[in-house]
Amino acid sequence: MRIVVTGKDGQVVRSLVERGALHTDIEIVALGRPELDLSDPFTVTSAIARAAPDLVVSAAAYTAVDQAEDEPELARAINVAGAKAVARMASDLGVPVVHLSTDYVFSGDGTEPYRETDKTGPHGVYAQSKLDGEIAVANANPRHIILRTAWVYSPFGKNFLKTMLQLAGSRDSVSVVSDQWGNPTSALDIADAIITVAKQLRADPAIAPYGIYHLAGTGSINWSGFARAIFAASRENGGPFADVVDISSADYPTKARRPLNSRLSTDKFFNVFGWRAPDWQDSMRKTVARLLADTEA
């Protein structure tokens, strides 16, 4: 089964390439710039057609949440028109699309985990572009699985976990917001989930579980608690650690407002696909240990 994924160096892309290599019946083909540029739909169409996929994973996106406030046209071109072109091409080839979306489609009110049927309320350009991208993907390909994920980290690229480890190398204390809650999610777990979906769709294309799903690490925490857990894991492995000072979102203003509550309920994904992500602390510890081992190597 050939799975074509958009992007080359993204966290989810690299995780899918790594995890896909563990399955003899799966080939992952990563397509990114320049041959596939989401801001140029012609390249999307031709690159995907050439790759002849059995399934397309739409993982590339404009992900610079604050910068999007300054370049809304580019963010929308990539996250709406680009995502739509990917889904349309998959549809033209008669194959399903798995599209990555975000917890930021929600406003962040309340304390309960959001379900797929809950009302959306995005703040800011990035969040709105991802919500509009979901709608464009769903309209372009009836065989769509839209996976809303959250707080993604991995051994690859830039993410909160790696930033914390870097900061601990040069500081005694780090200030981190404590009033935003969510589910830290390993991109390697996302990759495992996507492979699970791919295998089930191949086994029974008529399973028809098409629609929106929430996919995130199991268990929730606030950002400062996440930072403390990262430092504890690092310390256990002989790595750097720092004190964490709780601050509020008001003390750390950003161009785009973040949801205070972006907890996601993953029950629907579990009920349909029989898979749930590991506890976020287990996956986080594995990533910290791997990064520290890589540093020593």
Give the active site residues: 126
Taking alpha carbons only, the member of 53, 50, 58, 29 closest to residue 140 is 58
What pairing do the DSSP bridges indicate for beta strands 181-182 and 221-222? antiparallel
Minimal distance in Å, beta carbon 82 to ligand NAP? Answer: 6
Minimal distance in Å, beta carbon 181 to ligand NAP? Answer: 14
Residue closer to ligand NAP by CB (options 235, 286) is 286
Residue closer to ligand NAP by CB (options 13, 188) is 13
Q: Which two tokens stand for residue 240?
A: 């750097």
Minimal distance in Å, beta carbon 71 to ligand NAP? Answer: 12
Q: How far apart are CA 243 and CA 270, in angstroms?
A: 36
Residue closer to ligand NAP by CB (options 126, 273) is 126
The total of other beta-carbon atoms located within 10 Å of residue 254's CB is 12
Residue closer to ligand NAP by CB (options 188, 292) is 188
Residue closer to ligand NAP by CB (options 237, 281) is 281
Q: How far apart are CA 59 and CA 147, in angstroms?
A: 10
- CA dist list (Å): 11 to 8, 85, 148, 241: 9, 22, 15, 24
- CA dist list (Å): 84 to 71, 79, 100, 129, 218: 19, 8, 12, 12, 30
The total of other beta-carbon atoms located within 10 Å of residue 253's CB is 7
Rule CB under 6 A: which residues touch ligand NAP?
7-13, 32-33, 36-39, 59-63, 78, 100, 102-103, 130, 149-152, 157, 187
Residue number with the shortest CB distance to ligand NAP? 10
The total of other beta-carbon atoms located within 10 Å of residue 135's CB is 13
Would you give the distance in Å from CA 70 to the centre of its chain?
Answer: 22
Minimal distance in Å, beta carbon 61 to ligand NAP? Answer: 3
Minimal distance in Å, beta carbon 259 to ligand NAP? Answer: 11
